[in-house]
Amino acid sequence: MFLSVLLVMMMMVRWTEAGYTGTVLSHTSKDVQGNIHTTVHRFKFGHSSCGELESWLCSGCTQKIDESSGEWCLREYTTWGSWSFNYYNYGWYYGIYWINNRNGISSPVTQMFVEGRKRSDINRPNSSPQTGILPVMRVPSNCQRNINLLTFDPDGDHVQCRHGSGSDECSTCTPPSVLSLSSSCSLSFSPTNSSDEGSYAVQLVMEDFPSQTINMTDYTGSTVSINSSSSMSRIPVQFVFKVDPAAPSCTAGEYLPRFLPPTPEHGAQFFINVNEMIEINIRAEATQSVITELLFSGPFNMIKNSSGSGNFTLRWTPSDSQNDDNESHPICFVVQATASSSIYQSELRCVIVRVGNIPFIATPSPPKTSRLTVLKLKISTTLSLKDNKDKIEKAIKDELIRRGLPPDIKVRLLSDGSVKVNN
């Protein structure tokens, strides 16, 4: 039996009020009881302003994440409930329109395919890949830019991207002519002519594939086998790519902001527990422009602060009331700067915050960068470092493994009290 669930939100607006700037949908499977499992659906969607968004969407059912004044507003809509083991479509067709764009996309279609049958390898239904993007990504027309999307999968599956195709993924499926897409979810922009400047609608689909042949069992007990060429989830990743007028220089750190330490690397994983606060410190520089703001996509109750030009902090405390436990939460951000009337963005960076006692998942490192896993923990002991180094190292290793790191890690306690971990 095929179960099709479609959430429809229809409110017609005039083309002059067009303001859709993209969305990312995701789902996470959690508790399993018999033939029923709990699934959390998260919808992040952008519009040209918070006021316009409130005018057509249900009042009070969404939470604001962040906004770039005068350009976009990002909000989140979350649902959770119990489902039988089955597979279905979940999403909506908007009665609104994309902002004006160069590739002629008008009506957005946002729908995800959920594989809700029980997997034989993990004994629960599949969770979709986790990713994030800002509603508007921008680059000067004369500068090279790669956008490496986060490709984290909670089940350790292989993740690929493609352009949307077909009526359930896009109404008009014309990809941006100025972007090239790799299957590994990297978008590449090369310097182009001023005639190509403007906004483009990007409509991608992210999919996950099992690493080996597995069995899928539905609520009736019927079982089928799928292999590594069969996608299990399809989620939309949609945003606006804006090609701005040429910059005086494309060197990172001059007009285009450049990230500095202690900004986490792209793809870093953080492990925390419910009711435990995470603090992400972000630092950037731009010598020929003025850094004005940090823009991010993440949990709606994340707090953003600035402590001077180019210094920012993101803080978040997950809670049971928001179903944050045993879930992976993507956080993506850019730093934005201005010079005269021009706006410049840094590269996109994304990290994953994993809440609760869930396994460590290795993710591919982007080119020329390292992967970082950050754990916040406290271990108290009356043992002296001088005489009990081995015992303390074992206690730290045991706690790291309990938090989800692989059992073959090597822990070394340094003389200054810091800890070095290798695998």
Q: Which range (44-58, 107-121, 395-409) has the least confidence?
A: 395-409
At 320 the pLDDT is 84
At 403 the pLDDT is 56
Burial classification of residue 331, based on how many CB atoms lie within 10 Å of its CB (0-12 exposed, 13-18 middle, 19 or more buried): buried
* H-helix or E-strand spanning residue 309: none
Please determine, for residue 170, whether its predicted confidence score (pLDDT) is greater than 70. yes
pLDDT band at 416 (very low <50, low <70, confident <90, very high): low
SS (H, E, C) 255-292: CECEEECCCCCCCCEEEECCCCCEEEEEEEECCCCEEE
Please determine, for residue 90, whether its predicted confidence score (pLDDT) is greater than 90. no
| Stretch 229-257: mean pLDDT | 97
Domain annotation for the chain: domains and CATH numbers: 118-375 (2.60.40.10), 389-422 (no CATH)
Please determine, for residue 16, whether its predicted confidence score (pLDDT) is greater than 50. no
164, 203 Cβ separation under 8 angstroms: yes
Higher pLDDT, 19 or 345: 345
Coil/strand/helix, residue 393: helix
- Per cent of the chain over pLDDT 90 is 66
89, 114 Cβ separation under 8 angstroms: yes
Please determine, for residue 222, whether its predicted confidence score (pLDDT) is greater than 90. yes
Beta pairing partners, 229: none
CA proximity to 233, closest of 265, 208, 211: 208
The pTM (predicted TM-score) of the whole model is 0.84
Coil/strand/helix, residue 324: coil
CA proximity to 186, closest of 362, 28, 311, 347: 347
Higher pLDDT, 257 or 6: 257
Please determine, for residue 26, whether its predicted confidence score (pLDDT) is greater than 90. yes
Please determine, for residue 371, whether its predicted confidence score (pLDDT) is greater than 60. no
| Stretch 364-372: mean pLDDT | 46
Q: Determine the Cα–Cα distance for residues 384 and 307; give it in Å rounded to an integer.
A: 38
Which residues are CB-neighbours of 373 under 8 A, at least 6 positions away? 268, 269, 270, 271, 360, 405
Highest mean predicted confidence (pLDDT) among 28-37, 273-282, 372-381 = 273-282
Coil/strand/helix, residue 394: helix
CA angle 67, 54, 78 (to 5 degrees): 75
At 387 the pLDDT is 67
Instruction: Tally helices (H) and strands (E) across the chain.
Output: 2, 28
Kindly report the average pLDDT of the chain as a whole number: 86
DSSP string of 104-168, one letter each residue: ---S-EEEEEEE-SEETTTSSB----B----SEEEEETTS-EEEE---B-TT--EEEEEE--STT
| Stretch 291-302: mean pLDDT | 96
At 47 the pLDDT is 92
Tokens of residue 313, six digits: 């902090």
* pLDDT digits 0-9 by tens, 318-336: 998 888 889 999 999 999 9
pLDDT band at 423 (very low <50, low <70, confident <90, very high): low
SS (H, E, C) 204-242: EEEEEECCCCEEEECCCCCEEEECCCCCCEEEEEEEEEE
At 367 the pLDDT is 46
Q: Determine the Cα–Cα distance for residues 77 and 75; give it in Å rounded to an integer.
A: 7
259, 335 Cβ separation under 8 angstroms: yes
State phi, psi for 306 to the nearest 5 degrees: -125, 140
* pLDDT digits 0-9 by tens, 248-286: 999 999 999 999 999 999 999 999 999 999 999 999 999
* H-helix or E-strand spanning residue 382: none
> Residue 144 CB: number of other CB atoms within 10 A?
11
| Stretch 96-124: mean pLDDT | 93
CA proximity to 136, closest of 235, 244, 236: 244
* H-helix or E-strand spanning residue 9: none
CA proximity to 358, closest of 28, 24, 1: 28
